[in-house]
Chain A
């Protein structure tokens, strides 16, 4: 579980009045300034940011204390963080922040260690956990109730039920050779 989350990055200056360009990493980009003051990598500098507009895929923001182009330019590249505690609770029991899941121990049902959650991806086909297993290899596991029946964020672990993997190859014993126009009838669509 991570305590500081990187939510954005200053990307340069805009104009001569100290506006900065801000790149957002949040799910809804406009939320970058919604979690209160932002801090830099070290936590030493605190930025109060107000969004003013957009320039292509970046936001234009006013930062308290930054009034000149030079000051804004000097901030370029600074990454912005919020505290994990600043995020609101998730809306249901099956939603989890990526930051909470990353780093959890993945255990099998018998309690033996399977690996550690390294990342979560969503490529459009449901969320996927990337787990670094004991050998150092990375395994992908669908984030479903069947494969991850228990998520215990406070306990620092998830329980995984590893699915059986079967292969569907061209020309295997129960498959036909090559492409097929939707069905064995050779075209005209599938029979219902």
Chain B
């Protein structure tokens, strides 16, 4: 069952404050977080978070398409790395 709309999205409160601070500083910063359960909110767009996957912190650059998803969705805990083959990386 989906979460009730009247509750609003869940986010750990300290993330909001840290995100505000990071945005205000304007530095090239990675915010390490353990809170995989928190929802990605519009005020996080443009920031880079290091999301813990139980082993290491995976950098996640927040874009507007991620709003409403949880941080944990972008830091898989089990990974199959595969082959490089013809895959391309795009620098943002």
Residues of A within 8 A of B (CB): 2, 5-8, 25-27, 31, 35, 87, 90, 94-99, 101-102, 119-128, 138, 140-148, 151, 161, 163-172, 174-176, 178-184, 187-190
Contacts and interface: CB of A to CB of B under 8 A. Distances in A.
B6 A187 contact: yes
Contact of B75 (A94, A123, A174): A123
Nearest to B41: A190
10 contacts: A97-B86, A126-B92, A128-B58, A143-B90, A165-B29, A165-B32, A170-B34, A179-B10, A180-B13, A182-B41
B contact patch SS:
mixed
Contact of B86 (A31, A145, A167): A31
B89 A127 contact: yes
A33 B75 CA distance: 32
Contacts of B7: 181-182, 187-189
A179 to B, nearest CB: 6
A142 B14 contact: no
Contact of A97 (B32, B34, B87): B87
A144 B89 contact: no
Interface of B: 6-18, 21-22, 27-35, 37, 39, 41, 48, 50-51, 56-63, 66, 73-76, 79, 81-92
A82 to B, nearest CB: 8
Contacts of B59: 125-126, 128, 140-142
Contacts of A7: 83, 85-86
A125 B61 contact: yes
A140 B67 CA distance: 23
Contact of B61 (A142, A165, A180): A142
Nearest to B66: A125
B74 A90 contact: no
Nearest to B19: A168
Contact of B88 (A97, A126, A144): A97
